[in-house]
Every structure is written in structure tokens, then in C-alpha cells.
Amino acid sequence: MKIPSGYIIPVFMTVLMGAIGGQANGAVHPKLESWFNIQDFGAIPDDGQLDTEAINQTIITASKSGGGTVYFPAGKYLSFSIELKNNITLHLENGTILEAADPADWGIGYNPPEDNPHDDYQDYGHSHWKNSLIWGIGLKGVHIEGKGLIYGQGLEKWAHNESGMEGNKSIALKNCRNVSIKDISILQGGHFGILATGVDNFTIDNLKIDSNRDGINIDACKNVRISNCTVNTPNDDAIVLKSSYALGYPRFTENLTLTNCQVSGFDLGTMLDGTYQTTQKQAPDKGGVTGRIKMGTESNGGFRNITISNCVFVHCRGLALETVDGGILEDVSISNITMRDIVNAPFFLRLGSRMRGPEGTPVGKLRRVQISNVVVSGADPKYAAMVMGIPDHPVEDIVFDNIRILAKGGAPASQALVEVPELEDGYPDPRNFGEIPAYGFYIRHANGIQLNDINLQFEDDDQRPAIYAEDVEGMRLDNVKMEKTEGVPGMKLKMVQGFQLINSGEGESKEMQVIDDMELP
């Protein structure tokens, strides 16, 4: 029986093992037979030397035994690339730090990135997995667990350099199934804390991630459950669903639930240390700090059958649903969200035509999305909730239900006259569209829009309407309350057909500016 060094068997387990032994001729608890301690293979905690070889040898030995748990006792272990095998669990004990080594300190580095002929269709980091601290390809039954910390101190967070030795992800998995990552923490995780591409039957639960770029990227994966995670990423997105072409073919991200999570853009490291500092005001892209939940930007394969619920956004960008590379985004339900101190659009729904993918890929679709029970406060005055297709390619069947938005307000009358650029093939982010001529909702190139039980208010008088809609067919407003500055219309409508306004209070229908002689029903 292999018992991890320093592993204390609880009293109840000792009694249980004795009972089993008495009844089964000395048989022992099966869990402990499959544990493999990295210290038994030469890893030495806290000595400042590399433990890469010892860790990988432990995994190889466990794999040859049919699988098992690779145990990291408390202490700090320094490593380059760790290759997972089938039916392997990495268990990081409370007090364990697995630190990504810095190639500059050693003259050696991480596994080189594998060749990928499809690099051109997504950012470099999405196209490679082996150049990571922990990686696995084509595996089943892989699990990472425990109360320990992965510290990506030696990982690159931006574009790859020419040395060929750098790693840029904490955990990278490709074409795996039956996978879970639970309870660990990640600090400064590199380009991605977790990159999962083509990973099916995947559970992520109770993680704490405080990272310098993306926290969790789920790319072309099916049957995924993300729950109870706290992710702080001031310089990039917190939890992102993607559907790139990195596998060499389009593949949906689908059948996914994301629930009970908090995302934020506090200063790096201050979520994990509990101080929650806000000295950093913007990300390297010159927009406000990031830290959001997003669907996109890589979007060739598409998204469907997604639910997001019971999540908190604080000091970060808002919720983004984007498909700009030909994928279909459909059948999405989002509910029970609170947002506070939002640095750009609370909601950003964007269908575009950037078209990262093989030549001839058609423009995608964004349709059948329901967003309900959301409270927003402190929304940035430059923006609004934005729902935008492109000419001849509208977003379709979007329902907002029971939404409360308190914007900071204070925008001048000149902002109400702004013409928002189309940017059909541009990068999809609210900041690229500049100032928005509404404080509540800006809707353009859309069919079948419903706003039910909506309350739009501002802290300071705002010279913009609450709602601006252009090139919309079929727009229904039911019980919509809009705070208005005196002399400013509550809504501006341009080329809107099939408009209905009901249960919205006396005088609301008179507080509209109708442009281009549109006829109301």
C-alpha cells in the first residue's frame, strides 16, 4: 500500500480499514493503493531545484499501473512542462505551490509548441497546447484537484517570442473527455489559466483564479459544467466560451452550464490576498479593466444550448455574446445576474463578419437569446446595452426580461447625435464603437426584440434617450420605465417596423422621437 508522505489517515478511515481487513482477509482501502507521492520519485519541496523529471516520472509510473493519484505534499515545487496521461489525478495538497519555472533562470524551457496548419484562424495561444505547465492531448479520465496553488510565475502572458522555450498556459487540454478540475487556485496563469479545446464531459468547480490574462477558456467543448468559481482578470477576460478553428474543423461549444460564479477586474493578485485593490483603471488594450464573462471572440464553430445563471460581475466589463467568424450562436438563457461598477456595456450582443476561418465561410447567426433578472449599477456613461447585427444580417429573437439598469449618466447633448460606426469586420468590443447615443439600450440591425419589465435610470441628468433603435423589425416594449431629462425624448426610433409599446405609463408614447417618418401601428 502506498501512503503519501505526511498523509494522515483519519480515525474513521483507520476504523473502516480495520473492519474491512477483518471481513476481507486483510484487504485495505482501495484509494490508498493508487496514490503516488512525487517525493518518492525525487521531488524535493522548497529547495529551489527543478522537479520536472520527478513529477513526470511519477505520472508515468502511475499510468503504467493503470492510473492513479499523483500526490503533491505541501511545499513549493518548481517545474517546466508536465505531461498528463490517461486516468491520472493530480492532487495538490493544501499548502502546495506548483510554480512554473522561468526559462531565463535555467537556459531550458517548456515543451515546444506543436505544429498547427490552422494558426491563421485564431490567435497563436489558442492553437497550441504542449507549451504549457500542465498539458494533455487525446486523454480520458483526467482530474486536477486539491487546495493547492498553481503559480504561473515563469509563463508568458503575451505573444510568443523567438526563444522557443517559453510556456504561456497553466493548464492546456485538447481532445480529452471525462475531465474535472476542482478546488485549486491559480495565480498569474499566463495567457490562459485554463485552455480546454475539444474537451467533452468536463467539470470545473470551486476554482479561485487571479490571473494576468484570460482565466478560463472553453473552446469547441461539449457537455461542460462550470460552477462556484471566482475569477479575477484585470487585463483580459475571466470566463470565455470560444469556438475556434484550432482543431482544423468547426465545432460547436454546446450543452454548457455556468453558474454561481463571480468575475472581476481588481488589481492582479488582490482577489487572492483579499484586498481587492482598484488602482488599475484600464487593460493593455486601453479599454477599462476586463474580467468579464464572454461568448466569443473566436467563433467559427458556434455556440448553442448554453445557460449562465447566478453570477456576480464587479469592477469589470459587462456580459458579451459575440459571433463574428461564421458560427451560429443560438438557444442561450442568462438569468439572475448582478453587475456593479461596469466599465463598458452591461450587455454586448454582436453579430459581425470578421470571418476568421476558411475562405467561403458564410456570416453566422445570433438568435434565440433570453436575458432575465439582471440588476446593473454604475454603468459607464460612454456606453449602453448594445444589441447589434450588420446590414442584411440582423440578430434575431432577443428577449430582455426584468432588467434594472442604473447608469452613471451625465452625457452631453452632443453624444446623443453620435453616429455609431458599423465596423462589420472589426474586432468585437464595445470600446471600438466609441460613444453611444443612448444610456439604456442601443439596438441596430435586429429582428424580434422584446423588452419586458425594464427600468432604466441614471445618477446624473443625461442628454441622451434611454433607448435608440435603428433598422429593427418587430420590437415590443412591455412595462418599460425610462428616466428622462427634461426636453430629451425617452426613445429615438429610426427605420423601426412593427413597433409595440404597452403598459409603459401615461405619456411614454409621446416621449419618442421618430426619425424618417416611420409609421407606428
Q: How confident is the model at residue 515 (pLDDT cuts 50, 70, 90)?
A: low
Tens digit of each residue's pLDDT (9 = 90 or more) over 185-203: 999 999 999 999 999 999 9
Question: CA quadruple 367, 204, 208, 312: dihedral positive or negative?
Answer: positive
Q: Is the pTM of this model over 0.85?
A: yes
Specify the pLDDT at position 504: 76
Helix (DSSP H) and strand (DSSP E) numbers for the chain = 4, 33
Specify the pLDDT at position 12: 36
Q: How confident is the model at residue 278 (pLDDT cuts 50, 70, 90)?
A: very high
Strand partners, 481: 455
Tens digit of each residue's pLDDT (9 = 90 or more) over 301-333: 999 999 999 999 999 999 999 999 999 999 999
Residue 87: pLDDT over 70:
yes
- Cβ contact 243:252 at 8 Å: yes
Tens digit of each residue's pLDDT (9 = 90 or more) over 426-439: 999 999 999 999 99
Distance CA 401, CA 449 (A): 11
DSSP H or E stretch at residue 267: none
Other residues' Cβ atoms within 10 Å of the Cβ of residue 515: 14
Tell me the C-alpha to C-alpha distance, in Å, between residue 283 and each of 199, 234, 235, 386: 29, 6, 5, 21
Residue 166: pLDDT over 60:
yes
Which stretches of 101-151 are assigned E, i.e. beta strand? Answer: 134-137, 140-146, 149-151
Residue 361 CA from chain centroid, whole number:
25
One-letter amino acid of 460: D
Domain boundaries, the chain: 34-298, 318-521
Q: Report percent pLDDT > 90 for the chain.
A: 87
Specify the pLDDT at position 511: 56
Distance CA 365, CA 516 (A): 28
Residue 140: pLDDT over 80:
yes
Q: How confident is the model at residue 158 (pLDDT cuts 50, 70, 90)?
A: confident
Domain 34-298 has CATH 3.40.630.30: no
- Cβ contact 150:181 at 8 Å: no
Residue 29: pLDDT over 60:
no
Tens digit of each residue's pLDDT (9 = 90 or more) over 371-405: 999 999 999 999 999 999 999 999 999 999 999 99
Which stretches of 394-504 are assigned E, i.e. beta strand? Answer: 395-409, 441-460, 467-482, 491-502
Residue 41 is given by DSSP the state: G
